[in-house]
Chain A
């Protein structure tokens, strides 16, 4: 059996942590969920993760904090931000900082699939 690419989801919202893994599995990915940035960074799945679906605003470390921390650790993972704050102005900054995509909740399954597609085709140095 081909090993499935791992997509990790970091979001403090429970409904997201419940719903996204099933959809990701439907897409053919393996999925792991974390309720906080700290929990993800402390886990054994960081190096294994091929794409990170990352909430922006969370208690404790924020999404962009995780992005910087990973860069500091030289463990850069393609990141797709997901946010419930409909503020379009943050998107360009996140993209300029190297994010693959920034999806505004609620987003469609195809928008998510496209973003994952880009993320997995990206080869990191």
Chain B
């Protein structure tokens, strides 16, 4: 007979209950205590297995054995459900032959097929006390399967998640017709609860593993690793991909020393500087560094990290590191090609320009030479042709004027544009230039220090031309440090008030510095120390500053490198007119 025990069997956690053989009988107090202790110990053992991450199948098998020991004559089976089919999946039935479990695997979850189907779909316990006589299952292949394994009774209970989702079913079989006692019902409630914990945990773990696998795959595909860095203890955690990028052994514990040992020697001072800044300020990190690996190969890494504080004020950086070597190398190749191209273009335009200047000048020169020769010959003849000589001399003068017109036209061609004067905040335009050149400076691995005087007066200047000068000074400074590898490529830019209502800006580098003899030559047009340089940047810069009634000069540093300074009056018009200088802000 099918006995319904009231539908859903709710799992009750942490039950201290009694269970025993399937048939009730009187037991002594001592035996009862012993039994309860055994049950508790068994439950603890199962929960421990779950907590320590035993495979689900062995937890479920132990769970079956636990019930079989607590209630002799019971034979247990636990089945999982693949709801996408839906069909039963193997769980565990340690006391039944493998052929039985094999037969359950893939069995559709349907109410008319077996008691477990009803339990799963209707979320209620199903008791089939005597399969042989139960009309409900008479025509099912399931009945034949059970009977062929000598099983005559089955009680099937759904295993429910907290959310009410059916995770599987728990079945107890007997080799004779049987019904569950209250104790056994309590035992069933206890183990289905443990089973639901075990199954949910296994599902969570699988989902976590899947998500970790996704993450690892994503990190691998994008060559991006992640890290955590505790600033006070220097505890460092690297993701698997970051281990790979740094070519550390997967199982190595990463230390700051190990990381430092991988940093390219030329970038060590930059790295130390950035670590120091991070420790002091806790500001976000965004930098690019190179690694030198044991095989001497070089990698370019882009790092972005954000610091957060726990409640004790301890700072931890969490960040991502991307291997941008391939991109950098192609950028470098591109840049080489581009500068090569620019050089060729410059050479050819210069060539074309020179040729056209030569042509323009040679035409009148040719006239001059021919006319002068004719003139001489006319005068040298036996009867000098004075009138003819006068005419050729006139033409000579005219051709010479033509030549000088050509030169004047050339000068007009290179003539400077008018200044567009407006009120300008030197700090602001400098910040704009820095923002514009940030990536170029970063590429040169330059560490920029800014020292702006806050209440700087507004000047009247040509904003764009002033920015050209500042940009030129910045890039020159970065260029001058291109070969510097034994010290930080420190570039300091400062603004301040100068004497006589002037504003000054200084750009200091620690680069190759200036030869005392060439301090002034650097401002000459076409003087350059750079292979790619035209040598007009500083000369143009100086003429711009001078047109602002200011001064641009260079001075050697006490240490390595040079400082370029310009100083401009608040109002150039005021200076030019010798009128009192107006203060604009």
Please report A residues at the B interface, Cβ cutoff 8 Å.
13, 15-16, 18-20, 22-23, 26, 82, 84-87, 104-109
Q: Is the CB of B355 within 8 A of A26?
A: no
With an 8 Å Cβ cutoff, the count of chain B residues facing the other chain is: 25
Smallest beta-carbon distance A47→chain B, Å: 27
How many angstroms from the CA of A93 to the CA of B378 in the assembled complex? Answer: 36
Smallest beta-carbon distance B418→chain A, Å: 35
Q: Is the CB of B378 within 8 A of A16?
A: no
The answer to whether B364 has its CB under 8 Å from any CB of chain A is: yes
Smallest beta-carbon distance B387→chain A, Å: 12
Instruction: Chain B residues near A105: list those with CB within 8 A.
Output: 362-363, 365-366
Q: Is the CB of B363 within 8 A of A86?
A: no
Instruction: Chain B residues near A82: list those with CB within 8 A.
Output: 366
Q: Is the CB of B392 within 8 A of A19?
A: yes
The answer to whether B402 has its CB under 8 Å from any CB of chain A is: yes
Checking A15, A23, A85 against B377 with a beta-carbon cut-off of 8 angstroms, the contacting residue is A23
Checking A19, A23, A84 against B362 with a beta-carbon cut-off of 8 angstroms, the contacting residue is A84
Q: Is the CB of B367 within 8 A of A15?
A: yes
Instruction: Chain A residues near B392: list those with CB within 8 A.
Output: 19, 22
Known: A19-B371, A84-B359, A86-B355. 20 other contacts (CB 8 A): A15-B398, A16-B363, A16-B366, A16-B367, A16-B370, A18-B395, A19-B370, A22-B374, A22-B378, A26-B377, A82-B366, A84-B363, A85-B359, A86-B362, A87-B355, A104-B362, A105-B365, A106-B365, A106-B370, A109-B374
Residue of A nearest to B364 (CB): A15
Q: Is the CB of A106 within 8 A of B359?
A: no
Smallest beta-carbon distance A114→chain B, Å: 13
Smallest beta-carbon distance B191→chain A, Å: 100
**Which label, helix, strand, loop or mixed, suits the secondary structure of the A interface?**
mixed
The answer to whether B369 has its CB under 8 Å from any CB of chain A is: yes
Q: Is the CB of A19 within 8 A of B367?
A: yes
A-B contact pairs, 15 of them (CB 8 A): A13-B366, A15-B363, A15-B399, A15-B402, A16-B370, A19-B371, A23-B373, A82-B366, A85-B358, A87-B355, A105-B363, A105-B366, A106-B365, A106-B366, A109-B370
Smallest beta-carbon distance A115→chain B, Å: 14
Checking A13, A22, A108, A109 against B363 with a beta-carbon cut-off of 8 angstroms, the contacting residue is A13
The answer to whether B368 has its CB under 8 Å from any CB of chain A is: yes
B 391-413 binary contact with A (CB < 8 Å = 1; else 0): 11001001100100000000000
Instruction: Chain B residues near A18: list those with CB within 8 A.
Output: 367, 395
Instruction: Chain A residues near B402: list those with CB within 8 A.
Output: 15
How many angstroms from the CA of A15 to the CA of B363 in the assembled complex? Answer: 8
Q: Which residues of B353-390 have CB atoms within 8 Å of chain A's CB atoms?
A: 355, 358-359, 362-371, 373-374, 377-378, 381, 388
Pairs A-B, 5 closest by C-beta atoms? A15-B367, A105-B366, A109-B373, A84-B362, A19-B370
Interface centre among A13, A22, A82, A109 (most CB of B within 10 A): A22
How many angstroms from the CA of A24 to the CA of B366 in the assembled complex? Answer: 14
Q: Is the CB of A108 within 8 A of B358?
A: no
